[in-house]
Structure 1
Amino acid sequence: MPTLVHEYDWPDRVVVGTVGRPGERTFYLQVRHGARSTSVALEKEQSVLLAAKMDGLLDELTADPDHPVTAPQEVPDELIDNDPLDQPVEEEFRSGTMTLGWDPRTAQIVIEAFALDERDEGEAVEPGEDGLDEPSPDEPSAVLRVRIPVGAARAFAQRTRQVAFAGRPICPLCARPIDPDGHVCDLTDDR
């Protein structure tokens, strides 16, 4: 079965947002161009790492005196997007592996999110296990590929960090998240 590719060049909007209350949030990478939209579920940790790696890549591009593109350190006001996710949020797939790169042809950052293909029992799909023509580990069932300019990439990273860290507060004693219903600190006094 061929891989279903959701590809966006110069999208109108690329954001990470959440659905649900803190502690029970589902994170989504959502891309929109015109009336077409794709939402991919991902883990909070993937969001945080994606933002950090994107900032690192943008800083590398800016630090290279031979590179023709400079990424802004501050996000221009017109690129700030604090709006909620577009509704309805319809999950296309859950992301497994993600990649981040630079496309020198278009001078854009490239984000790729590959589908995490699992069976109902939670086991990873192995090709040919039950005689069906299933995708191999090198061929995911779906991929989201997004190309965005450097200014939009810096805005994306900033918003992603804000969304990720807007969840539950952290306990100052045990450094674990505090649930809205309360928190029992696992820290014991061994003195």
Structure 2
Amino acid sequence: MSRVIHVFRSPDRFVAGTVGQPGERTFYLQAVHDKRIVSVMLEKQQLSVLADRVGAMLDEVKKRFGAPIPPSFTDFTDVNPLIAPVEPEFRVGTMGLGWDAEAVAVVVELLAITEGEIDESVVLGDSEEGPDAVRVFLTPHQAREFVARAASVISAGRPVCPLCGEPLDPEGHLCIRLNGYRRGAEIDPTDIQDVD
């Protein structure tokens, strides 16, 4: 069976979003054009890396080629949730990123997770063999919007402990920097020992 590549050359929408409560969120990317909707599932870390790389690519393209790239921004206009029901086509394994100078567009490709390694020529290619993929062409403005919204989605989770950087749960947090004491718990002064 040959692979399926979902191509969005002029998407109406390409956004990151989540389903679930902080601490139990599932992350998705969703591409939309007219009534066609494709969603894929990915890890929070993958989303963070993709957003960082898209932003860095835009900066590099502007610097090297003088392309009309808007500056970074934190506000974004598409604040709507993912279109429900969210039914993922696949879980993302490999991601590809490119610049199409002719179309003046960032090309994002998301490939389904596979058991083994994939040939690099499959990424951003039209080979008949390989994992299913979603390929989205984003204008520079759409790419900046994607980066801003992704940053907002990532930061909307649980707050992090200022001491160790681990997520704080509503019921408490055993902080390794406090030697296992629950953050906010009273510490008995007799338990504290001086170290010479």
Q: In percent, how many aligned pairs have the same letter? A: 44
Unaligned runs of 5+ in 1: 118-123, 126-135
Q: By how many angstroms is 1:137 displaced?
A: 3.1
Q: By how many angstroms is 1:141 displaced?
A: 3.0
SS in structure 1 at match of 2:176 = coil
- Between the aligned partners of 1:74 and 1:174, the Cα distance in structure 2 is 29
SS in structure 2 at match of 1:93 = strand
Which residue is 1:114 aligned to? 111
Say which is worse superposed, 52-61 or 175-184, in terms of deviation.
Answer: 175-184
Corresponding letter in the other structure for 1:71: I
Contact residue 116 and residue 140 of structure 1 kept, 8 A: no
Corresponding letter in the other structure for 1:111: V
SS in structure 1 at match of 2:30 = strand
Which residue is 2:86 aligned to? 89
TM-score (norm 1): 0.83
Contact residue 115 and residue 140 of structure 1 kept, 8 A: no
- Give the number of the structure whose residues are more often helix, by fraction: 2
Corresponding letter in the other structure for 1:180: P
Which residue is 1:37 aligned to? 37
Contact residue 74 and residue 148 of structure 2 kept, 8 A: no
Which residue is 2:69 aligned to? 71
TM-score (norm 2): 0.81
Deviations 1:151-183 (A, max 9, x none): 110110111011011111001122101123321
Which residue is 2:143 aligned to? 153
- Between the aligned partners of 1:115 and 1:38, the Cα distance in structure 2 is 13
Which residue is 2:169 aligned to? 179
- Between the aligned partners of 1:59 and 1:68, the Cα distance in structure 2 is 10
SS in structure 2 at match of 1:70 = coil
Contact residue 107 and residue 149 of structure 1 kept, 8 A: yes
Name the CA shift for 1:75/1:173 in 2 (closer, same or farther; >3 Å): closer
Q: By how many angstroms is 1:112 displaced?
A: 0.3
Contact residue 7 and residue 145 of structure 1 kept, 8 A: yes
Name the CA shift for 1:69/1:76 in 2 (closer, same or farther; >3 Å): farther
Does structure 1 residue 80 correspond to structure 2 residue 61?
no
